Chain A
């Protein structure tokens, strides 16, 4: 297709979609209104299961099956990207001897921030059912924390503390743990991903039943998934060279 033909197709399509969007949006309930039927159902359900952060309750209890689906997309994307980013037959990994200079202040900041970020990430994961946060957000924070080692100046050091295969295994184990927790619920109550653990007291760390454990499983999966992805991109950009 030539460029001009592509533009004609685009303007026709965008015009049509645009008209449809406008027609649909004119019938939308007004922004900020009082009608929220899903909320009326989900908020009492979350409180009944000792999960003050209602978003976590929705994600890991009320519609945990959907989250399993999302998690599977995540796993599939990571596996696909990792396979595509593998060094091919005519490529070898070479580490530059000269890693470039990094300001001492940057190094210091990197090393200082590393433990802080790890703690914040762990906190966000484990308190996901109590305060805003959870496995998805905390996992990304934890993965970012590991990569502060690169900011602090040493790609070699990052590669030493980050054996890629461990994270690949952790990724699969965490995804499996989610399914196993679901199957336990199926065996005990007849419902997949049923909330089977003791719900505890509203506000306690070990409350809200399965939500806590699913949060930790997703946290582990997102952490290892993002680490595997970033390690693939870093290796491709920094150390994989074509050998002719």
Chain B
């Protein structure tokens, strides 16, 4: 049971990749990438957690949870949002140029 948090993180990564492969719409693909990335938030925060410890703001008595992984997660979330925005902007450009957002209909994306 004590490994559940880590497996949830791994699951989010894999299900996100699954969504990317299954996707028939590039907007959907971008959202699935964001889900895969959210696995890293869960993993980082789970590593830093300690039972009975309080939030890393001084004033609380007793031990605090690890602030370093929280700082990593914090910037991770903001970067994820801006990268998602960049990818969505790319999707809009693709839609303008090719009139489709289905990856299978895009010649450029065919292997």
Instruction: Spell out A's residues near B (CB within 8 Å).
Output: 1, 3, 6-7, 10, 13-14, 17-18, 21-22, 25-26, 28-34, 36, 38-39, 42-43, 46-47, 52-55, 57-59, 63, 66-67, 70, 73-74, 77-78, 80-81, 84-85, 88, 131-132, 134, 136-137, 140, 202, 222, 225, 229, 232-233, 236
Q: Are B48 and A36 in contact (CB under 8 A)?
A: yes
22 CB-based A-B contacts, threshold 8 Å: A14-B14, A18-B10, A21-B13, A21-B14, A25-B7, A32-B2, A38-B48, A38-B66, A39-B65, A42-B67, A46-B58, A52-B58, A54-B56, A54-B64, A55-B70, A59-B71, A77-B83, A81-B89, A85-B89, A134-B74, A229-B82, A236-B92
Q: Which residue of B lies closest to A78 (CB)?
A: B82
A37 to chain B, nearest CB (A): 9
The interface residues of chain B, by DSSP majority, are classed as: helix
Q: Are A81 and B3 in contact (CB under 8 A)?
A: no
Say yes or no: is B17 at the interface (Cβ < 8 Å to chain A). Answer: yes
Please tell me which one of the listed residues B17, B49, B70 contacts residue A14 in the complex, with CB atoms under 8 A apart: B17
Say yes or no: is B6 at the interface (Cβ < 8 Å to chain A). Answer: yes
Please tell me which one of the listed residues A14, A55, A78 contacts residue B74 in the complex, with CB atoms under 8 A apart: A55
- Number of chain B residues whose Cβ lies closer than 8 Å to a Cβ of chain A: 51
Q: Are B79 and A74 in contact (CB under 8 A)?
A: yes
